[in-house]
A = this chain, B = another copy of it.
Amino acid sequence: MVVEEQIVAMKSDFFKALAHPTRVRILERLARNGEEVCVCELIEDLGVEQSNLSQHLSILRKQHIITSTKVGLKVMYRIKYPEVLTIMEKVQKILAQQFQEGEALMRHLADR
């Protein structure tokens, strides 16, 4: 069935959208505030180039993981689906378990 393949592709696209440090940091920043955060504040907090941040926001927007509203000159972003937060928590939990097993950080530092 061809639709099944499309859905799998959508899932991997979803994960691909999360698969970059800057985008993880964007989501964690948006998660912390709970409410809307403007791009200008993200630039400040994450300390990345404006253009680069904008591209990462664009990738998250395309997957509809975040949405934006324009307020005057500013654009406010927020996480669209609360499930995204759950996913972030679960990853945190998996890493925590890996730490307990003494695998995580050492491996990460070593083999890349």
- Interface residues of chain A, those whose CB is within 8 Å of chain B, are 3, 5-16, 18-21, 23-25, 28, 62, 64, 81, 83-84, 86-88, 90-95, 97-98, 103-105, 107-109, 111-112
Contacts and interface: CB of A to CB of B under 8 A. Distances in A.
Contact of A25 (B8, B13, B83, B107): B8
Main secondary structure on chain A at its contact with chain B? helix
Contacts of A88: 11
28 contacts: A3-B105, A6-B105, A6-B109, A7-B95, A8-B21, A8-B28, A9-B108, A10-B95, A10-B104, A11-B92, A12-B18, A12-B21, A13-B112, A14-B94, A15-B15, A15-B16, A15-B18, A15-B24, A62-B107, A81-B94, A83-B90, A83-B93, A83-B94, A84-B94, A86-B86, A86-B90, A87-B87, A90-B90
